[in-house]
Chain A
Amino acid sequence: MMSGWARMGLVLACAGLAAGCGSKPQTAAAAGARSGLVTPSAPAVTVPLSTSLVTAQGTWAIAVMGGSAASENNFWQLFVRPTGAGQWSEVTPPGVADNGGLVAAGTGTSLVIGFRPSQNLAFSPLATSTDAGRNWTPGLLDADLGNESGALAVDPSGQALALLQDGTIQTAPTAGAAAAGQWSELTTRQALAASAPGRDCGLQALDAVSFGPDKTPMTAGSCERPGVAGVFTDTSGRWQSAGLALPAAYRDDQVQVLGLAATSGGNVALLLAGDSLLAAWSNGTRWTVSAPVAVGAVRASGFGTGGSTWLLLSGGRAETVSGPGAAWQALPTVPTGTATLAPGPGGGYDALAVSGSKLTVWRLTKGAWAKVQLIKVPIEYGSSS
């Protein structure tokens, strides 16, 4: 016969058994992601990737749209207003998630877009269009493209420069080589910092690449030594200072080059010196520096035709300068949500304002902003989660 103790053991075993009953189904939601690479030397000011540029095909603008809570729901968009047209359209290259950001570089005949890596992607796909964004040809930069709007440059021959996140500059000799991923190292931030012009400026970081009027590669960055602007040009494999000297008033200020672009006859640079923003233009032999404009937090910046430059600052401020020798002009306070400015038809400006997946185009007409277009962008929320 079973004793009382044995019965108790059985009862206890059954009690444990019975405890396994009951369930409540529910779905899971959590995500893991690999971390990205680390920037070796962060510049004093980081200019967002939002920008615009002008090519023979039209005017292009880049802005981030979508959700604000998670970067996986922020999608960068490319818009174009074809030359001669008044309307904008969304022409973001398909096939790659662009949550990491878009970087654009244009020539007279084509526009190249670089996708910055995000999440588990460690290299930068490219896309090139020669028909105002209707068709795109894929390309590859097998590296982490830098997080600056000036990190990519192409010249009319198809030669390309790419500034990487770690400060390396790579070059591809032709558009075909760029598409095939055949890039080679041109220099590194460390190598440039160790060169004579790099030592003279105390080079800390590189912020942009471009081409000079004679198709020579150029780069620009931040200098530790006060009063010196770090703009360099590669002459037959030897890096030299591009000769940009600032007025004596800035001799005690550290200088950071926020942007660098090619113009028809030279280059244009956007500089931060102390608490002033300056534009500087080169005609290939000498530089002209603009009067200063008081700095605010830079929300976006870009270059137009003829060396024109624009700035979108905090508080809805916007400033433009039309070219060498001109003065900065303040635009009327931009509409709420303005993500970027772009040269508009007739020499004016368009303000592209973002709200979620809606882009509103405001045009500066008779000294005031007028709403001219609303674009609903079909953002695929959750597609990068």
Chain B
Amino acid sequence: MPGMNSGLSPDDPTLVAAFRSALLHQGTIAFIAVIFLWLVWATARTWRLTTPSATPSTGEAGAASEAEGSAEAATSERVGLGEARGRWLLRIGFGVLWILDGILQAQPKMAAGLPSLVIEPTAAGSPAWVQHLVNWGGTIWSYHPIQAGAASVWIQVGIGAWLIVGGRGRWSRLAGAASVGWGLIVWVFGESFGGIFAPGLSWLTGAPGAVLFYAAAGALIALPEGAWRSPRLGRLVLAGFGIFFIGMAVLQAWPGRGFWQGTVHGRPGSLTDMVQSMVSTSQPRFLSALLSAFSSFVAGHGFAVNLVVVIVLAVLGAIFLTARPRLVRYAVWFGIASCLADWVLVQDLGFLGGVGTDPNSMIPMALLFSAGYLALTPLPEEPVEDTAGAGWGQRLRALRPRTLGGMVASASARSVAAVAAVAVIVLGAAPMASAAANHSADPILALAIEGGSTSLDLPAPGFSLTNQDGRAVTLASLHGKVVLMTFLDPVCTTDCPIIAQEFKQTGELLGAKDKDVDLVAIVANPSYRSTTFTQAFDRQEELAGVPNWQYLTGSVSQLGAVWRGYGVSVTNLPAGAMAAHNDLAIVIDGAGNIREEVGADPGPGTTSTQSSFSVLLSQYARQALGRS
């Protein structure tokens, strides 16, 4: 898909190092922010405890009284009902899963490799409109891989932590809503709608997408807690699963979808193929051996395996639809066992291989229907101490300058931890949001290709050449302006046209400062070097109308002197190869000194890497302009 990847290796050391560095920096900031929040909270509590004036006046009451109250008041625990078991299971279970997913997102390959190794293959079988939508998201990621990769880590870790520490109350419900929002984003752009529009949809392989279960769980957590007091919610959840399982059983049993045959004309059937592909994933040997054995078993007994799967799905679906607690209890245990078996034998745990983004669908699915069962069978309600703290309305009413300290002091540890979790999310999301607003790719992609640049402070060798219009141009005639210089072969078939476009885009990125910069190319071909060819090149690249573009040429001796002066090697190669020369960009300041020398090899030559080089060059030009 166009734009889906930068063309760089997911293992590119520059990108991996930059990703790691971004995570370390943001992690440090997150750590400091958490410590700061804890200190503020602890200080406020201590101060409120030891300051007599902090005691509430008798004339104040209600929310203000609670907010400004003493530490004892702040920690006073209201009597209420305990959190429903199903809700607790979802909150903790999916909190842990989000954190695990965040950690998986921190794998080295993720920053540069997610679009090409995960998103693109997932979307490949989907309809064109899905691919178009997914490609849009993948392009944004590819243009800003470091920010996007780090954002995914912190957003998911933050949501997970928020769910776990949020406990009950509005903070907790907001965490559920955040889980829905981010889950749907991942489901659409990361999982291409879980592949539901692609052929071969199967419960075994993860339909309808793991993250859809995360979103569903988030929605349940976001419900008012009263909804969990009634078995009705459990019946609804289980009915939903009942319909889902029966639908999946029908799909699994549908003739012609390839699930009934272990092998088809000597080639692996759908399930065999899936399991065999998992065998090649990098993983512990015992797991690989187990999958290999299961693959052989499926290949030889495809019909029987599929029959078992169809029966399991149909039975689970039917029992869940009955919503009879005793039956459902056995079905839940049976379902968990089935999910675990599929998770190990078919999905290969989901997160192995260096580009796994989550443990796939079986664990979240099992959590979700287990929560449904627990909601179906609520325990007798017993009053418990409610540590959720004061409500939002009370806190907002108390939000006055003289009561702020009191509010902080009265906040529960759970609330402070939830704020810290939200801060972690914001920490990741803010740089990504800022980067996504920029249509040019990050210069880190260019550095990944070029391996960095060299800062210099040398007088630029002089030259006297002829531009594309036949006018003489010397280095001295360019003094006062920053010169971005490169060496281009006018009949080059590969890099030179791309580099020329990068220079053109650099001028556009410089905006108003473009008038203080000359974009200069010098011919790098000893044979095809006349203005006939520089003009043809300009027409080809639509550079003829760029006012500060100069494509200079001269005699072989004139050009040779310039090539030597700037350390450029130009050679005619034999047997139908183009002239060989260095790909080089040089930044010369207004005083005629070389300030930067950077490799200009466009590498993979995709739009994002070109864009990133232009950004890098424009940054150097601005630095040189600052010195002039």
A and B held together in a complex: yes
- A residues within 8 Å of B by Cβ? 1-6, 8-10, 12-17, 19-33, 65, 75-77, 90, 92, 94-100, 102, 115, 117-123, 125, 136, 138, 140, 142, 179-181, 377-380, 383-385
Asked if A31 meets B157 with Cβ closer than 8 Å, knowing A2-B42, A25-B11, A77-B575, the reply is: no
B30 contacts across to A, CB distance below 8 A:
13, 16-17
CB pair A23–B20 under 8 Å, yes or no, is yes
CA distance A3 to B535 in the complex (A): 73
Asked if A16 meets B497 with Cβ closer than 8 Å, knowing A2-B42, A9-B417, A25-B12, the reply is: no
CB pair B161–A380 under 8 Å, yes or no, is no
- Minimum C-beta distance from B23 to chain A (A): 3
In the complex formed, the residue of B with least CB distance to A76 is B576
What are 12 contact pairs spanning A and B, CB under 8 A? A13-B420, A15-B103, A16-B424, A17-B23, A26-B11, A28-B449, A30-B606, A77-B576, A94-B527, A140-B532, A383-B577, A384-B493
A180 contacts across to B, CB distance below 8 A:
532
CB pair A378–B525 under 8 Å, yes or no, is no
A378 contacts across to B, CB distance below 8 A:
574-575
CB pair A20–B106 under 8 Å, yes or no, is yes
CA distance A59 to B417 in the complex (A): 86
CB pair B34–A90 under 8 Å, yes or no, is no
- Minimum C-beta distance from B349 to chain A (A): 17
In the complex formed, the residue of B with least CB distance to A102 is B576
Our pick among A3, A19, A26, A117 for the contact of B102 (Cβ within 8 Å) is: A19
B165 contacts partner chain A, Cβ-Cβ < 8 Å: yes
A97 contacts across to B, CB distance below 8 A:
492-494, 576-578
A136 contacts across to B, CB distance below 8 A:
527
CB pair A380–B575 under 8 Å, yes or no, is yes
CA distance A14 to B30 in the complex (A): 9
CB pair B165–A9 under 8 Å, yes or no, is yes
CA distance A27 to B13 in the complex (A): 8
Chain B interface mostly:
helix
B303 contacts partner chain A, Cβ-Cβ < 8 Å: no
B136 contacts partner chain A, Cβ-Cβ < 8 Å: no
CB pair B16–A25 under 8 Å, yes or no, is yes
B319-349 interface mask toward A, CB cutoff 8 Å, 1 = contact, 0 = none? 0000000000000000000000000000000
- Minimum C-beta distance from B150 to chain A (A): 8
CB pair B573–A383 under 8 Å, yes or no, is yes
Which residues between 27 and 46 of chain B lie within 8 Å of chain A, taking CB atoms?
Answer: 27-28, 30-31, 34-35, 38, 41-42
CA distance A384 to B19 in the complex (A): 32
Asked if A19 meets B106 with Cβ closer than 8 Å, knowing A97-B577, A136-B527, A384-B493, the reply is: yes
Which residues between 592 and 628 of chain B lie within 8 Å of chain A, taking CB atoms?
Answer: 603-606
Asked if A90 meets B575 with Cβ closer than 8 Å, knowing A6-B413, A9-B420, the reply is: yes
- Minimum C-beta distance from A70 to chain B (A): 13
Asked if A25 meets B13 with Cβ closer than 8 Å, knowing A17-B23, A123-B540, A140-B536, the reply is: yes
Which residues between 20 and 74 of chain B lie within 8 Å of chain A, taking CB atoms?
Answer: 20, 22-24, 27-28, 30-31, 34-35, 38, 41-42
B413 contacts across to A, CB distance below 8 A:
2-6
CB pair B7–A30 under 8 Å, yes or no, is yes
CB pair A17–B161 under 8 Å, yes or no, is no
In the complex formed, the residue of A with least CB distance to B12 is A28
CB pair A95–B164 under 8 Å, yes or no, is no
Our pick among B105, B493, B530 for the contact of A99 (Cβ within 8 Å) is: B493
CB pair A1–B536 under 8 Å, yes or no, is no
CB pair B20–A10 under 8 Å, yes or no, is no
CA distance A4 to B161 in the complex (A): 13
CA distance A20 to B8 in the complex (A): 20
The 3 closest A-B pairs by CB, nearest first: A20-B23, A17-B27, A3-B413
- Minimum C-beta distance from A245 to chain B (A): 41
A29 contacts across to B, CB distance below 8 A:
9
Chain A interface mostly:
loop
CA distance A23 to B77 in the complex (A): 48
In the complex formed, the residue of A with least CB distance to B13 is A25
Among A20, A136, A379, residue most surrounded by chain B Cβ atoms (within 10 Å): A20
B525 contacts across to A, CB distance below 8 A:
95
CA distance A138 to B572 in the complex (A): 13
Our pick among B34, B414, B536, B604 for the contact of A13 (Cβ within 8 Å) is: B34
CB pair B20–A99 under 8 Å, yes or no, is no
Which residues between 302 and 330 of chain B lie within 8 Å of chain A, taking CB atoms?
Answer: none
CB pair A17–B24 under 8 Å, yes or no, is yes
B154 contacts partner chain A, Cβ-Cβ < 8 Å: yes
Which residues between 399 and 438 of chain B lie within 8 Å of chain A, taking CB atoms?
Answer: 413-414, 416-417, 420-421, 424
In the complex formed, the residue of B with least CB distance to A64 is B576
CB pair A24–B11 under 8 Å, yes or no, is yes
CB pair A95–B575 under 8 Å, yes or no, is no
CB pair A380–B573 under 8 Å, yes or no, is yes
CA distance A218 to B34 in the complex (A): 83
B579 contacts partner chain A, Cβ-Cβ < 8 Å: yes
B99 contacts partner chain A, Cβ-Cβ < 8 Å: yes
CB pair A379–B108 under 8 Å, yes or no, is no
CB pair B108–A22 under 8 Å, yes or no, is yes
- Minimum C-beta distance from A162 to chain B (A): 15
B515 contacts partner chain A, Cβ-Cβ < 8 Å: no
In the complex formed, the residue of A with least CB distance to B109 is A24
Which residues between 527 and 574 of chain B lie within 8 Å of chain A, taking CB atoms?
Answer: 527-528, 530, 532-533, 535-536, 539-540, 572-574
CB pair B9–A26 under 8 Å, yes or no, is yes
Asked if A383 meets B527 with Cβ closer than 8 Å, knowing A20-B27, A26-B12, the reply is: no
Asked if A138 meets B414 with Cβ closer than 8 Å, knowing A28-B12, A77-B576, A97-B577, the reply is: no
CB pair B493–A121 under 8 Å, yes or no, is yes
A119 contacts across to B, CB distance below 8 A:
493-494
CA distance A24 to B113 in the complex (A): 13
